[in-house]
Amino acid sequence: MNQIVTIQHRQAVTTSLKIAEIFGKRHKNVLQSIERLSADLPERDRLNFQPVENQDSKGEYRAMYQLNRKAFTLIAMGFTGKKALSFKSAYIDAFESMETALFNQKNLSWQEQRAENRSARRIETDSIARFVEYAENQGSRSARMYYQNITKMTHKALFLVKQASQQPFRDMLDGMQLAFLTTAEYLIQQALEDGMTAALHYRDVYTLARERVEHYAAQLPRQRLLMAGG
């Protein structure tokens, strides 16, 4: 029963070949059952059965399916008997174990992204503090608004929309959003430092930061930037 469920493309799956082996069936018959079942399913559910190729002991490639938990559940409905019930239970346990491992792996990745974002934000706010003083020395009377204005400008460029929630805004972002935001904040920090080093007018320094983050955002796949909390 080892390795009856594996992780492929960040999803817990089994195969039609493994199902045939565990349940004592001919693989050809399992394939036929899958194809009959798939024909009656809506398209979105047929995607749970992914056709792949398997290299046999002779080095030849044979048809096979990868099945996620839902696909396995559908096909296993037709397997009856005390022994089949025991195998189904073992399969469900295996899926749950792999899905828990995936969840923990994903959560660790998110925690790492969040830690990196905290670091980027601290570096950025240190530069903003220097920029506020720089702008005040040039006569700005509302320089302290740059903390808020730069944050809003960044979120707008990345299509991140803050929604009402008891959770901190950044805790509502997924790993991809955090990665994009972290990079944007590093870019802004560098732009502020570059502008001040070049002795630009404070408004031009802000414009430089905005242009850099907007240029970066324009290179990103916009359709993948989800609204926070959405």
In-domain check, residue 84:
no
Model confidence at 2: pLDDT above 80: no
Percent of the chain with pLDDT over 70: 91
- The total number of structural domains in the chain stands at 2
In-domain check, residue 160:
yes
Same domain, 150 and 217: yes
Same domain, 59 and 153: no
**Phi and psi of 59, rounded to 5°?**
85, 5
CA 117 vs CA 73, 206, 219: distances in Å: 40, 21, 20
In-domain check, residue 204:
yes
Averaged pLDDT, 52-80:
87
Same domain, 50 and 112: no
Contact present, 100 and 14 (Cβ < 8 Å): no
- What average pLDDT does the structure give for the chain? 85
Contact present, 20 and 27 (Cβ < 8 Å): yes
Report residue 178 as tokens: 């955090």
CA 213 to chain centre: 22
Q: Which domain holds residue 29?
A: 6-79
Residue in 148, 228, 230, 145 with CA at minimum distance from that of residue 180 = 228
Q: What is the pLDDT of residues 119-174, one digit of tens each?
A: 999 999 999 999 999 999 999 999 999 999 999 999 988 888 665 556 688 888 87
In-domain check, residue 98:
no
Same domain, 219 and 132: yes
Q: What is the dihedral of CA 72, 73, 79, 85, to 10 degrees?
A: 110
In-domain check, residue 99:
no
Model confidence at 224: pLDDT above 70: no
Helix (H) or strand (E) segment spanning residue 69? helix 69-76
- Confidence at residue 227, expressed as pLDDT on a 0 to 100 scale: 42
Q: What is the dihedral of CA 106, 108, 113, 118, to 10 degrees?
A: 140
How far is the first Cα of the chain from the last one, in angstroms, to the nearest whole number?
A: 40
Tell me which of 35-44, 54-63, 100-109, 166-175 is least confident: 100-109
In-domain check, residue 68:
yes
Same domain, 149 and 203: yes
Res. 223 pLDDT band, cuts 50 70 90? very low
Measure the CA–CA gap between 138 and 100, rounded to whole angstroms.
Answer: 56
Measure the CA–CA gap between 47 and 67, rounded to whole angstroms.
Answer: 9
Res. 225 pLDDT band, cuts 50 70 90? very low
